[in-house]
Amino acid sequence: MKFYLESLGCPKNLVDAHGMTRLLVHLGHRPVEDLRPAQVLIVNTCGFVEDARAESLGELRKLARKKRPGQVLIAAGCLSQLWGDRLLDAGKTG
């Protein structure tokens, strides 16, 4: 599987993203720099600071519009942990 990973927010997210990448590569998956060939799009979000929340939501919306049929969009990170239900609701309304 090819995956595209974008990490937003604090430096801890960069460490987490590196760990996610290492695990996925260890399991035989391949990171790609362009989202088009990826089967999975991952956004490592930040949910603690308003500006970071807005950036994360904006990136999720952008990728949701760009993703092609068959691609999976995953919201990882603290925004999805803290605001998960709201993210699902936002996805339903656009």
pLDDT surpassing 50 at residue 93: no
CB 3 within 8 A of CB 32: yes
Predicted TM-score (pTM) of the model is: 0.86
Residue 39: pLDDT over 80: yes
Alpha-carbon distance of 43 to 56, in angstroms, equals 8
pLDDT at residue 12 above 60?
yes
State the helix-helix crossing angle for 50-66 and 78-93, rounded to 10 degrees: 50
Residues 83/47, Cβ–Cβ less than 8 Å: yes
* pLDDT at residue 89 is higher than 60: no
- Using one digit for the tens of pLDDT, what is the confidence trace for 44-63? 998 888 888 899 999 999 99
- pLDDT value of residue 53: 87
